[in-house]
Amino acid sequence: MSASERFEQYMEHLAAGLGHADRHAGLKGYCTGLMLPLTRKSVEPMAAGVDPLRASARHQALHHFVAKADWSDEELLRRISQWVVPKMDLSTGGFWIIDDTGFPKKGKHSVGVARQYCGVLGKQDNCQVAVSVSLACEQASVPVAYQLYLPREWAEDTERREKAGIPDEVRFTTKTEIALQQLESLLAAGAPKYCVLADAGYGVDNAFRQRLSDLGMPYVVGITSAVVVWPPGVEPLPPKPYSGIGRPPVMPRRTRNRQPISVKELAHSLPPTAFQTISWREGSNETLSGRFAAVRVRHAGGNSGKARLRPEQWLLIEWPAGDADPLKYFLSTLPADIALDELVAQAHMRWRIERDYQDLKQELGLGHYEGRGWRGFHHHAALSIAAYGFLVSERITTGGSVGTKKNFIARQTPALPADYIPRGSPARPATRG
C-alpha cells in the first residue's frame, strides 16, 4: 500500500469522529495544507496551496472548518492516538511527558495572550501558552492531550471570554493542575500508569508530585537547586508525644544539628567518587554523555498534610566536569534498585517532546494560527497534531525521518497559477491589451 493510500485511510479514520460528513473535505484539505512546503501555515496560504484555482472559496471553507464548526478536538486527538499508538513499540513500557510551549503574540485580543514566560523566547513577553501530554517510547512520541493555559486576567474577564468563545466550564487553572487533569482523564479512559516526565516548572510543585504518587504513577521530574531534602542517613525526629488534648502532633521535628539541606548543598558535599560518566543515547553527531550521581533522599518541604515525612526517592544530579555547579537536578520515585544508567536514560527521555514541538512548529504550522477564538486555537492544534501523527506513523512503518513523507502530499497538489495574488496584497496596475 502506498503512502497516499495510507493517508486516505487515516483521513477516513479521523473523519469518523467529526460528526457531519461535510467536514471530511475540511479535514483532508487542512491536514494536506499543513504538510505542504509553505512558509506560513495559516488558512489563506494553505487554501491557495491545496486548491489554487478556487483559493477564495477554499479559504472560506477551511476557515469555517477550523474556527466555527462544532467538532471535538479531544475526540480527534483520541482517534490520532488510536492510529499511531498501536504502531509504537511499548513492549518495555512508555512515558507520559508533560510540557508547555509558548507562541509569541502581538496585541491583546487572541485568546489567552498575556505577558508571561515564553520558552521560545526564554523570557517574559506577550504570548499564548499551551500545556500538553505526550506518550513516548524509545522509538517515537505523539501528543495525546493539549489545552491552552488561560491566565487569571482572562479567566475573570467576562467580556473577553465572550468574544473569544471560552466555554463556561473553563476557569482559571494552573499549568500543573491542567497537566494533572489531562493525566487523570487519560487514566479514566484506561491508559496505563507509565512513568511521568516533566521539567522543573512542574517538578518543584509538591502537590503535583504528591498527586502523581497518589495516582500510582512513578515520575522523574526536574527540580531547582533550592529544593530542600533530608540527605542520606539524616531524618527528622518523630512528632512530639501526644498530650491527649486536641489533635495528635504529626509534624516531624528538627533540631539545630538535624536540619535538611538544599540539593545544591548536598551535591557539593558529595565526594568526586560519587559521580560517574554515563552515556544515555546516540545524538545526531555524537554519543550523549554526562557526569552523574544519584543518592536516596527524602523531600523536606512543607511539613503539613501528606508532606509530613516523604518516602525515600532518588535525587539525580548532573554535573559536567569542570563546571562550578551542577547543571540539573531530578527527583524520581523509580525503584530503589534501578541502575544509574537506566535512571539517567529515563530522565533524559524528555528530548522526545522537544522533538515533537520542533517538528510541529517548524514543519506543521502549530504556531501559525491567526484566529482569536478558543475553538479555533484548539482545532488548529489538533489538526497540526493529526498531520504530525500521520508522519510519525509513516516514520515507524518505513523507518524514515518525520519529514520524509511530506513530499507525497506536495506531488499531488497543483502548482499556483503564475498570476495568483494572495488576499491583502498591494494593488497593482491593470494589464494592457
Task: Answer yes or no: do 282 and 347 share one domain.
Answer: yes
What rounded mean pLDDT belongs to the chain?
Answer: 89
Q: What is the pLDDT of residue 245?
A: 81
Mean pLDDT of 302-331: 83
Task: Answer yes or no: do 232 and 340 share one domain.
Answer: yes
Task: Answer yes or no: do 331 and 382 share one domain.
Answer: no
Task: Answer yes or no: do 233 and 309 share one domain.
Answer: yes
Report which residue type is found at 415: A
Task: Answer yes or no: do 347 and 393 share one domain.
Answer: no
Mean pLDDT of 175-194: 97
Which of 316, 351, 386 corresponds to the end of one domain? 351
Mean pLDDT of 306-330: 88
On whether the CB atoms of residues 213 and 236 are closer than 8 A, the answer is no
- Residue 232 domain boundaries: 222-238+250-351
Which of 317, 351, 385 corresponds to the end of one domain? 351
On whether the CB atoms of residues 357 and 366 are closer than 8 A, the answer is yes
pLDDT over threshold 50, residue 306: no
Task: Answer yes or no: do 345 and 382 share one domain.
Answer: no
Q: What is the pLDDT of residue 400?
A: 65
Q: First-to-last CA distance in the chain?
A: 51
- Higher pLDDT pick, 282 / 40: 40
Which of 322, 351, 380 corresponds to the end of one domain? 351
Nearest to 11 by CA among 396, 389, 378: 389
What total number of domains does the chain contain? Answer: 2
Residue 406 exposure: Cα atoms within 13 Å on the Cβ side: 16
Positive or negative: CA dihedral 109, 112, 114, 118: negative
pLDDT over threshold 60, residue 37: yes
Mean pLDDT of 89-100: 94
Task: Answer yes or no: do 226 and 347 share one domain.
Answer: yes
Q: What is the pLDDT of residue 263?
A: 96
Please report, to the nearest 10 degrees, the dihedral formed by the alpha carbons of residues 55, 61, 62, 67 taken in order: 140
Task: Answer yes or no: do 340 and 226 share one domain.
Answer: yes
On whether the CB atoms of residues 88 and 139 are closer than 8 A, the answer is yes
Is 72 part of a structural domain of the chain? yes
Q: What is the pLDDT of residue 247?
A: 79
Report which residue type is found at 220: V
Q: What is the pLDDT of residue 303?
A: 44
Mean pLDDT of 303-326: 81
Task: Answer yes or no: do 263 and 383 share one domain.
Answer: no
Q: What is the pLDDT of residue 415?
A: 52
Mean pLDDT of 105-125: 91
Is 366 part of a structural domain of the chain? no
- Higher pLDDT pick, 258 / 60: 60
Is 187 part of a structural domain of the chain? no
pLDDT over threshold 50, residue 380: yes
Task: Answer yes or no: do 397 and 318 share one domain.
Answer: no
Residue 71 exposure: Cα atoms within 13 Å on the Cβ side: 28
Residues 6+ apart with CB under 8 A from 113: 105, 107, 126, 127, 128
Is 297 part of a structural domain of the chain? yes
Q: What is the pLDDT of residue 308?
A: 63
Instruction: For 327-390, give the DSSP string.
Output: SEEEEE-S-TT--HHHHHHHHGGGHHHHHHHHHHHHTT-TT-----SHHHHHHHHHHHHHHHHH
Is 424 part of a structural domain of the chain? no
Please report, to the nearest 10 degrees, the dihedral formed by the alpha carbons of residues 303, 308, 311, 317 taken in order: 0
Positive or negative: CA dihedral 399, 362, 352, 276: positive
Of the pLDDT bands very low, low, confident and very high (cuts 50, 70, 90), residue 427 is: very low
pLDDT over threshold 50, residue 411: no
Task: Answer yes or no: do 320 and 282 share one domain.
Answer: yes
Q: How far apart are CA 101 and CA 175, in angstroms?
A: 11
pLDDT over threshold 60, residue 430: no
On whether the CB atoms of residues 391 and 140 are closer than 8 A, the answer is no
Mean pLDDT of 151-164: 96
Give me the percent of the chain exceeding a pLDDT of 70: 90
Is 44 part of a structural domain of the chain? yes
Is 139 part of a structural domain of the chain? no
Q: Where are the beta strands (DSSP E) in 166-235?
A: 195-198, 219-223, 228-230
- Higher pLDDT pick, 312 / 423: 312
Task: Answer yes or no: do 313 and 277 share one domain.
Answer: yes
Which secondary structure element, helix H or strand E, spans residue 234, and what is its range? none
Is 271 part of a structural domain of the chain? yes
